[in-house]
Amino acid sequence: MSAHGGGQAGALAAMLDRFCPMHLVIGPTGKILHAGPTLARIIAPEAIMGARFLEVFEITRPRGVQDAGGLRALDGVRLRLRMRAHPRYALKGQLCAVPPDDSGAGPGPMVVNLAFGISLVDAVRDFGLTGADFAVTDLATEMLYLLEAKTVAMEESRRLNHRLEGARQAAQEQALTDTLTGLRNRRAFETVLARAVQGQTAFALLLLDLDFFKRVNDTHGHAAGDLVLGVAARRMLSAVRVQDIVARVGGDEFALLLPGMETATAVNTVARRLIAGLEEPISDGVRHYRISASIGATLSRDHPGAPPEAIMDAADRALYAAKAAGRGCHRLHRPEDDTPTAAGCPPQGGVCAQGAAMRSR
């Protein structure tokens, strides 16, 4: 690696090698005389011995160092450097100009001690450095340890967050979903309605009660009732658009929020389609069940500035009127007389003729 002198000078050089394994000794003319053992592992000594320091290293801070005189002037300054052959590793260092010896023969040598700063991890990996390549007092190993330990802890924390987020979403989904039908539940619907009332988009609110559901439930049992509810939910979903919200707000009571729907004609069309879909027989493979539905609807544009409860109330009154008109009817709440209009009861002979048993709401 170098030609250490004997005696005290040799001992000092060996000490430097031990304490500062990444140091360089530079001659008065700026040529490299010696490289510490770790540096010599990184840069082949034969390639740099005798080379000019500034040809092997680029000093990036301070700039503009051109020659040996400039180097000497850096005595004590905090340096940033790069190896020209490996520019990606940022080095930091400090230079110490050794005073000339007593013989008075011109300037003495210079010693530069180098260290990998934040590029330590890359350098250790790329140059295969080991604990023995660092001075005993160097914190490089501790830094690598800490980095690795923290990486593991962070990764574990990330995983935990991921799991918790999944659990949170599932819990929220569960809290807002009716488990039997997979539709939103009343709580979710209240949120949706409150948001829609706050928003700018007009919407239609429909309240739908299944007709004859109680009969199915009472006659054929809860399993049949559950089946009917599930099928009814799917049919309602397929009768509306993707952006429409369908919620089960009671045993056989449903609520629908249809954003952007603002004419009586459009609402009537949807209501007819819903009722027609629900009146299709439902089969469990053995029996056929027949139900129908009553719908009360209202348009948000008829309730400017009204709270969600008032809009619900209007739809509820319309539903009441629909039921009064017989099964399978729908009514739209009309604001001018606050009396529901006869919007579309099926012609006589249909389920309407069977009369309506009013249910108190």
Partner 1 sequence: MNGLINRAIECFVRDSYGDALWQEVTEALGIDETAFEPLMPCDPEVTARLVAALSARFGREAADLLEDLGTYLVTQPRSEVIRRLLRFGGVDFAEFLESLEDIPDRARLAMSDFDLPAINLHMEGAGLYRVEIGRTARAGLWFGPVLLGVLRAMADDYGALVLLDYRGCDASREIIEVHLLDEAHASGRDFDLATAGTAR
List residues binding partner 1 (CB under 8 A): 121-122, 124-125, 128-132, 141-142, 144-153, 156-157, 160, 163
Specify the residue, 128 or 307, whose C-beta has the smaller distance to partner 1.
128
Specify the residue, 105 or 136, whose C-beta has the smaller distance to partner 1.
136
The neighbouring-strand residues paired with 81 are: 59, 91
Q: At closest approach, how far in Å is the CB of 312 from partner 1?
A: 40
Q: At closest approach, how far in Å is the CB of 87 from partner 1?
A: 18
Q: At closest approach, how far in Å is the CB of 90 from partner 1?
A: 15
Q: At closest approach, how far in Å is the CB of 93 from partner 1?
A: 21
Q: Which residues contact 80 (CB under 8 A, 6 or more apart)?
A: 59, 60, 61, 90, 91, 92, 93
**Helices marked H in 92-205:** 120-127, 140-176, 186-198
Specify the residue, 164 or 342, whose C-beta has the smaller distance to partner 1.
164
The Cα angle at residue 295 between residues 292 and 296, in degrees rounded to 5: 165
- Chain-centre distance of CA 209, in angstroms? 40
- Chain-centre distance of CA 259, in angstroms? 28
Q: Check: CB of residue 352 under 8 Å from CB of residue 358.
A: no
Kindly state the DSSP code that residue 354 receives in the 8-state scheme: G
Q: At closest approach, how far in Å is the CB of 58 from partner 1?
A: 23
Specify the residue, 152 or 175, whose C-beta has the smaller distance to partner 1.
152
Specify the residue, 87 or 251, whose C-beta has the smaller distance to partner 1.
87
Phi-psi category of residue 7: left, alpha or beta, with phi > 0 → left and psi -120 to 50 → alpha: left
Specify the residue, 159 or 359, whose C-beta has the smaller distance to partner 1.
159
Long-range contacts of 87-91 (CB under 8 A, 24+ apart): 87/58, 88/119, 88/122, 89/116, 89/119, 89/122, 89/123, 89/126, 90/116, 90/117, 90/118, 90/119, 91/57, 91/115, 91/116, 91/117, 91/119
Specify the residue, 14 or 167, whose C-beta has the smaller distance to partner 1.
167
Specify the residue, 98 or 121, whose C-beta has the smaller distance to partner 1.
121
Following DSSP, what letter does each residue of 310-348 receive, concatenated? HHHHHHHHHHHHHHHT-TT-EEE--TTTT--B---PPPT
Q: At closest approach, how far in Å is the CB of 174 from partner 1?
A: 18
Q: At closest approach, how far in Å is the CB of 111 from partner 1?
A: 26
Helix (H) or strand (E) holding 177: none
Q: At closest approach, how far in Å is the CB of 136 from partner 1?
A: 10
